[in-house]
Structure 1
């Protein structure tokens, strides 16, 4: 199971386990906790015990369901077919974006990836090998970079295009069935609440000279709008997570502080471009860590 980031397997562990296919766990669970989640979950004995208890409890529930040959939320053939259709469209849309002319250079300029690659964290280098291909960039810096510019693009891009291709009533029916589809929709709703396209637009300005930058930015904005509209309609909400008030308020409480760090980061990057000094780079790296801690699911 993945760690904090929704685009790399994050979200509720219990929901994910209980939505997994029968006999897929078999009494054993291997966990990878991502860096930014470790301090919040294991910093003291109380939080560590609570987190480990939740993990064991989720595993016991899943093991019991498997032992009885039961599924908490069995997937109907119609729902399975619909999800396969959504997956194909979402994948195609996502791939069309990052294969667009000028996208690699846009990514380099519109995110702080250059500063992330110099951070002394993680057990592996940012790239699998020296290459100019996006495919050779590891998943963590890829997600981390888009999260830092506050678009959090890998977690939701392609979702809107997929969801709008299906009748809304069918999507709402699948959501009410629960299970894997509901888990995915709920996780994406949480991510969308953390997106700040006003801040992302500030980072976009760093790439305004990149060929095709305006078209790339338009694609990102349009896909976000479509994703937001569709997620709200499926969950039947007027505002993201209004039915999960505790989670919503937790995110909104941290947002002003993260926004301040993002503003500071963009100003520091501007300063570094004019005067590339080590102390400015160090300050930028500090904002990277602060934003990661505030958003809690970054890589």
Structure 2
């Protein structure tokens, strides 16, 4: 088998795991609430914690692959995801389950952030579109499979198996990736030292999404918009400048003053809190 298809099989397995776990708990919320004797709001966060962490860090963590190697970070993603699955499966309380789901989401973010870079290196330019499309198909299939799989598991066994079933899959994915993927570190020439801006990556995801209603639950993170000039010479950082987000012309319906015009952490459509 050609290397490109081996790499695609590894990234497809990671994408499938991440996609399945984004939906697999949807039909298990009431059994989880009953078994852990927790309120429904906490159980809803079992879903949201995973989605929030995986999407927020999905942009930023790709930078770690550039700095330390995409294979290494992808394998770390498998490991973190598997560990999060283990502790989610044995969680004694609702709050602990939310925390372990966040760990799962962090592992999923590492998988998602590095999968496309691995595919880009493995496939020639003329074939990348097909490979990216295949990854999107795997993700869509996994999202649907998660709902079906969750329903079957809940019908015939305990909700804890929803998470514990990831253990052998994660182990296989880690070993297969270790044996298959090539080690690469892509640092740009001329960079004074490796630089990783977690705050700017989080702001890219959350800062440009004003809420449609001032009382909508959630928070948008805005960290250090003026750091761009200080770090522009360090090279290798693909994230865009965030200064235009403070332009009053970019006002949203939930924040008439403009989109996050000041550094700090803001509630969506609310007042600056730090």
TM-score when normalising by structure 2: 0.24
TM-score when normalising by structure 1: 0.22
